[in-house]
Structure 1
Amino acid sequence: MTPGQPPVPRAGPARPVGLHAAPLVPTPGQLAWQEAGFGIFLHFGINTFNGVEWSDGTLDPATFLPAQLDARQWARTAVAAGAKYVVLTAKHHDGFCLWPTATTAYSVASSPWKDGAGDVVAELAEACGEAGLGLGLYLSPWDRNADRYGEPAGYDAFYVRQLTELCTRYGPLCELWFDGAGSEGRTYDWDAVMAVIDRHQPDAMVFNMGRPTIRCIGNEEGLATDPCRYVTHATDISLYDDGTTELGSAAYLPPECDVPIRADWFWQPGDPDTLKSREELLEIWYSSVGLGAGLLLGVPPDRRGLIDDADRDRLLEFTQELARRLGDPHAAVLTADGDDLLADFGRPVRVDHLELREDLTAGQRTDGHEVRAAGRLIASGHTVGVRRVHRVEPLTVRELRIRLTGTGARLASVTAAGPPSGPG
């Protein structure tokens, strides 16, 4: 999903589905992905070297020439930022492949980079393995270079071969990203696609199309809303939060928010002034991860093949400030008291952030929550999910009283973080 893509219906909140009647529960893989929470989106390809976000499959492979490509620098940057995984555009809509595929000549094998012997996906897979990062791959279903795209059966076989290469050459994948841009009105052989994933990468989360296990939040601003629902309807093309396309069956589909650190997804020489501020990135985090969604933040490599220095500095400025705010949490002991939960920290603690985590083993059950300190309401909202972070007016507390609404609602934990001790 890149700026300028054809419009798709996106407006409106997520449509809740039967949270009380027959709750759907996460798979272990979904829950692990939700716990991870934060990843880095690496848009990189032939567009990087031609100053465009989208291209039509005719750009010369000779223009792909990163003189200093260092996938370990990408991985080090992600780790330093606290990200748990990265997703690379192995093939964007232009069809240019970042690995030496047997399916087309339109790939790194036709570029002068490493005399045609390079493999960006392999280098990143090795770097992620060394760094302990999850690796996700984006493989655009829409391919503007493939002559056979106009022949559905032939293209489906071509696409399945590409996916099979990616699923069998590079070790475990944590996520496979199927972007719906350009595919409006097109039906792919998703049964064949999913058969490849089921056979070779059964633990990978599937984004947005096919038989998805995670969904798009519905915008490219990185913003979720409250309530942030995990159970929603699958649509036949995309899993946006609007419900305006034909509805399929209900499914447990936690959302991923995505947003670029600048205005553009691919690195562009003319947009340094659009680099988001530290405060903008913090607000995005609070409105995505802090509401119980995942966040995939676009931080693209530049024409050198390195993460841009200014982008890296801003990313780390943002994540270091986040760590400062949340990095010394106080865990509470939870006990029941009638209709409420008591969260006891064991001693007075200074608080300006609260994090509530729901027990999702029985599904997402919390519809509402209120948090009180000494009888005063200090935080409230609808869903909790894998994590719900509240910023509160600084105060010193020993105990909080929490009331949940929703049949079977349970919290797994409550933690608090705050500024240095001082006058309340």
Structure 2
Amino acid sequence: MTLGPPTPLAGPAASPLAPTPGQLAWQEAGFGIFLHFGINTFNGVEWSDGTLDPATFRPARLDARQWVRTATEAGAKYVVLTAKHHDGFCLWPTDTTAYSVASSPWKDGAGDVVAELAGACGEAGLGLGLYLSPWDRNAECYEEPTAYDSFYLRQLTELCTRYGPLCELWFDGAGSEGRTYDWDAVMAVVDRHQPDAMVFNMGRPTIRWVGNEEGLAADPCRYVTHSTDISLYDDRHSELEAAAYLPPECDVPIRGDWFWQPGNHDTLKSRDELLEIWYSSVGLGAGLLLGVPPDRRGLIDDADRERLLAFTAELERRLGDPVTAALTAAGDELLADFGRPVRVDHVELREDLARGQRVDGHEVWADGLLIASGHTVGVRRVHRVEPRTVRELRIRLTGPGARLASVTAAGPPPETDGPPPEAAGPPPGVS
């Protein structure tokens, strides 16, 4: 499509909301692994009601280093663990309830999954995020809001003070419809103990849910919004008091379920499905949190690990040797000069976000032909293009004060030189 007359690169600019350094670092990270693990893993369910016997939690070979090694080999920059899901079972020996690993036979009740993962992340230099469900189906005090708020704050304080720096705190709204928690008090705990952590979607969020569990963002992918829980498919939303810079995180499980389940091997997404998800999330300027859950051994399932690494290896093969262009203004266009002829089938644009998101339209031209176009660019926008040899590209931007930080290109591997893989469309949804 043609976006109309381009806007000059320089000139008066509006003053959109800009990211904090922490938000920008989180956006640059781009890719994390979601570790759903808990009592559900051992009982073949996704959600349980808080009555499952702690004695059923018995991983025989739990190895958090294997989880972290899998994540780092896949190129992930952080992991998020379900420290407490909706069932209320805690993966650390909390002082707030007996419904935790301390009541399980694992390590004779002396184990701490959160501590083991925190240690492994620290050794590997991988970011650690924790999911603490506000909805708790085990806590007797849940029906008494004041008492439960105090209970929840104690749990959050334990997680924020015992395990070192956290990169993300994940607050899931599932099951909490109609319930109001003391988010001011929650954020006071976060501000005091983990001020650098990104806060997902509730409280005073700094990142938001993309609005579906298929891992799909959309174009435009806007970072400034007046609401969270924005769904691509319906009108669900939560109004904010004022517009905020909230980049989206796309979450999707590698299989049909978030927790490891026996007998669902046929739902394991193919390498090509995972690639399409990446192009439709990270490639559109969002973040991707891919669910790869540990199994009942306490290890990442062999088939899941193999599929994850096959997907990321292919991504590295396609994009792993980029050529960076020198950028100069050329009238109403931006000239991206690679300095030599290069073979191209992917073009990546990165916006200068220091002053906020400003690009609302872009076109990429090669030898007088429009080869790619779209709306927002954001932290990264990856276009698949017909393979061609180019020395330079011309970029047209719309949006007041629109600026790019970089333009890079990657070429087809020699053995696959030819048309780029056709987009298969949105992969099958998983709810």
Q: 240-249 vs 30-39, which deviates more? A: 240-249
Contact 2:14 2:401 in 1 (8 A): no
Tell me, yes or no, if structure 1 residue 58 matches structure 2 residue 51.
yes
| Aligned counterparts of 1:163 and 1:423: Cα–Cα separation in 2 | 52
- Change in CA separation of 1:246 and 1:276 when aligned onto 2, cut-off 3 Å: same
Structure 2, unpaired ranges of 5+: 1-12, 420-431
- Go from structure 1 to structure 2 and tell me whether the alpha carbon gap of 1:283 and 1:175 turns closer, same or farther (over 3 Å shift): same
Which of residues 408, 419, 423 is equivalent to 2:401? Answer: 408
How do residues 181-200 of structure 1 correspond to structure 2 at under 5 angstroms? Answer: 181-200=174-193
Assess if the C-alpha contact under 8 Å between 2:56 and 2:104 holds in 1. yes
Query: Which residue number in structure 2 is paired with residue 41 of structure 1?
Result: 34
Q: CA contact under 8 A between 2:39 and 2:57: conserved in structure 1?
A: yes
Q: 1:239 to 1:108 in 2, by over 3 A?
A: farther
**TM-score for the superposition, normalised by structure 2:** 0.92
Change (3 A) 1:142 1:324: same
Rate the CA distance shift 1:90–1:83 in 2: closer, same or farther, 3 A: same
Q: 1:43-78 deviations in whole A, cap 9, x for unaligned?
A: 000000000000000000000000000000000000
Q: Quick check: 1:390 aligned with 2:383?
A: yes
CA positional deviation for 1:22: 3.7
Q: Does residue 346 of the first structure (1) align with residue 339 of the second (2)? A: yes
Tell me the equivalent position of 1:3.
none
Structure 1 counterpart of 2:295: 302
Letter in 2 for 1:417: A
Q: Which residue does the alignment assign to 1:168? A: 161
Partner of 1:325: 318
> In the alignment, which residue of structure 2 is the partner of 1:14?
none
What is the identity, as a one-letter code, of the residue corresponding to 2:180? T
Output the amino acid matched with 1:67.
A
8 A contact 2:412–2:418 mirrored in 1: no
Matched-pair contact (CA < 8 Å) for 1:98–1:107: yes
Query: Where do 1:248-327 residues align within 5 Å?
Result: 248-327=241-320
SS in 1 for 2:341: strand
Could you tell me which residue of structure 2 aligns to residue 107 of structure 1? 100
Q: Aligned partners of 1:197 and 1:28: how far apart in 2?
A: 17
Query: Cα distance, 1:88 vs. partner?
Result: 0.1
C-alpha distance in 2, partners of 1:337/1:356? 17
SS class of match (1:184): coil
CA separation of 1:206/1:244 partners in 2, compared to 1, >3 Å: closer, same or farther?
closer
Residues 125-164 of structure 1: pairs in structure 2 closer than 5 A? 125-164=118-157
Q: Give, in whole Å, the separation in 2 of the partners of 1:306 and 1:141.
A: 27
Amino acid at match of 1:297: L
Q: Which residue identity lines up with residue 397 of structure 1 in the other structure?
A: V
Aligned counterparts of 2:204 and 2:136: Cα–Cα separation in 1: 20
Which amino acid counterpart does residue 339 of structure 2 have in structure 1?
G
Deviations 1:203-228 (A, max 9, x none): 00000100000000000000000000
- For 2:38 and 2:413, the matched residues in 1 are separated by 46
Structure 1 residue 117 corresponds to structure 2 residue 114? no
Contact 1:394 1:418 in 2 (8 A): yes
Q: Distance in 2 between matches of 1:350 and 1:407?
A: 32
- The amino acid of 1:92's aligned partner reads H
2:363 is paired with a residue of what secondary structure?
Answer: strand
Indicate conservation of the 8 Å contact 1:335/1:342, yes or no. Answer: yes
2:75 paired with 1:85: no
Give the AA of the match of 1:193. V
Which among 212, 229, 233 is matched to residue 219 of structure 1?
212
What is the CA-CA distance between 1:245 and the residue it aligns to?
Answer: 4.4
- Distance apart, 1:248 and its partner CA: 2.9
RMSD: 1.3
SS in 2 for 1:53: coil
Equivalent residues in 2 for 1:344-383 (5 A)? Answer: 344-383=337-376
Per the TM alignment, residue 138 of structure 1 is displaced from its structure 2 partner at its CA by: 0.1
Give 3-state SS (helix, strand or coil) of 1:304's partner: coil
What is the alpha-carbon distance in structure 1 between the residues aligned to residue 195 and residue 418 of structure 2?
A: 53
Pair 1:396–1:227, CA change in 2 (3 A): same
1:336 maps to 329
What one-letter code is carried by the residue in structure 1 that aligns with 2:188?
A: A
Amino acid at match of 2:309: L
Conserved 8 A contact 1:233-1:243: no
In structure 2, C-alpha distance between the alignment counterparts of 1:298 and 1:420, rounded to whole Å: 29
Corresponding residue SS for 1:196? helix
Give the direction of change, closer, same or farther, for the CA distance of 1:59–1:254 in structure 2 (3 Å limit).
same
Q: Per-residue deviation at 1:21?
A: 4.8
Q: Spell out, residue by residue over 1:219-275, the C-alpha distance to the aligned partner (whole angstroms, 9 max, x if none).
A: 00000000000000135xx45564654453100000000000000000000100000
CA contact (8 A) 1:209 1:239 kept: no
| Aligned partner letter, 1:335 | T
Partner of 1:12 in structure 2?
Answer: none
- Comparing 198-207 with 226-235, which one deviates more in the overlay? 226-235
Asked if the contact 1:334/1:344 (under 8 Å) is kept, the reply is: yes
The answer to whether the 8 Å contact 1:139/1:177 transfers is yes
Which residue identity lines up with residue 141 of structure 1 in the other structure?
P
Describe the superposition over 1:369-388 as per-residue Cα deviations: whole angstroms up to 9, x where unpaired. Answer: 00000110000000000000
What is the CA–CA distance in structure 2 between the aligned matches of 1:155 and 1:320, rounded to whole Å? Answer: 46
Aligned to 2:426: none
SS in 2 for 1:228: coil
